[in-house]
Amino acid sequence: MMMAGLRERKKEETRRRISEAALRLFDERGYDAVTVNEVAEAAGVAKVTLFNYFPSKDCLVLDAVREDTAAIVAARPAGQSPLGALRAHYRGMAGLGTGEVDVEPLLTTIRVISASPALLAGVYQTNMAQRYELATALAEAGAGRAATLLAGQVTAAVTTLQEAFFHRLSTGVPLEEAGRLLEEEVELAFDLLERGFSSIEGDES
């Protein structure tokens, strides 16, 4: 067991070293200008090792922003609704303590993606694939014909939450404050998803 744990730690360290080297090079020179060979050399690993961890060049960046919402729905506890499971997940993400989030790599990732049409297209394709997978999971959970529409609404809501959070961080809002606002907006977003506009009309009047 001890050896297995050591192997896992070493694998995680290697993955992190590759990811950090890629992000640094992409930020310095641009995503398109950096080769996979250069990333592998900077990380001190063979190219084949890099591909064992990241099957394609875009995975070096996009793996950090992928979110398996379908798996969250599929793995929910008995008696919990799909939206309840998603709310609980994003509530937990928003409530992470400031010591558990390293802001600079997060902002660097967003900067690298924003500067690359190829990565922006990759984000769109990833979101679309995740939306289809979520729709399947929701259908299996009993959403029926509404599954595709609901998956689209969830994806749009989560994307909007993330964009607002990243924008605040990029404009200098302290992480603790940005996190507090995100927690509030997660609750509002899932209130809207579960009960519609009528759920907030009283609060806005």
- pLDDT band for position 94 (50/70/90)? confident
Residue 147 predicted with pLDDT over 50: yes
pLDDT at 8: 85
Nearest residue to 179 via CA among 52, 85, 94, 56: 94
Q: Give the pLDDT mean for 152-156.
A: 96
Residue 205 predicted with pLDDT over 50: no
- What are the tokens at 109? 């990732």
Share of the chain above pLDDT 70, in %: 91
What lies within 8 Å, CB to CB, of 186 at 6+ separation is 87, 90, 91, 94, 161
Neighbours of 100 (CB within 10 A): 7
- pLDDT band for position 118 (50/70/90)? very high
pLDDT at 102: 75
Do residues 57 and 34 touch, judged by C-beta distance below 8 A? no
Average pLDDT of the chain? Answer: 90
